[in-house]
Amino acid sequence: MYRFLIVVEKADGNYSAYSPDLPGCVATGRTREQVTRNMHEAIEMHVRGLLEDELPVPKSHSFAEYVTVS
């Protein structure tokens, strides 16, 4: 099983997402839920392609935190 961080950003009229650990693996959607589903599918396809090509699947090194300032 693989686990990857995704970053979801609000754009003009839709959402986009990417994974810092999987360069080039991106998705879009009209809602946060849709972009998350689409990104899940994109990551599955990306990892499946790496495995089929006998290439290493990158380890996830990314993490996210919120910082609060006054």
Domain ranges of the chain: 7-52
Q: Are 13 and 6 in contact (CB under 8 A)?
A: no
Beta bridge partners of 66: none
CATH architecture of 7-52: 2-Layer Sandwich (3.30)
Phi, psi of 4, rounded to the nearest 5 degrees: -130, 140
Q: How far is the C-alpha of 25 from the C-alpha of 11, rounded, in Å?
A: 17
What's the pTM value of the predicted model, to 2 decimals? 0.89
Q: How far is the C-alpha of 42 from the C-alpha of 21, rounded, in Å?
A: 13
pLDDT tens, residue order, the chain (70 aa): 899 999 999 999 999 999 999 999 999 999 999 999 999 999 999 999 999 999 999 999 999 999 999 9
Q: Are 32 and 15 in contact (CB under 8 A)?
A: yes
Q: Are 32 and 8 in contact (CB under 8 A)?
A: yes
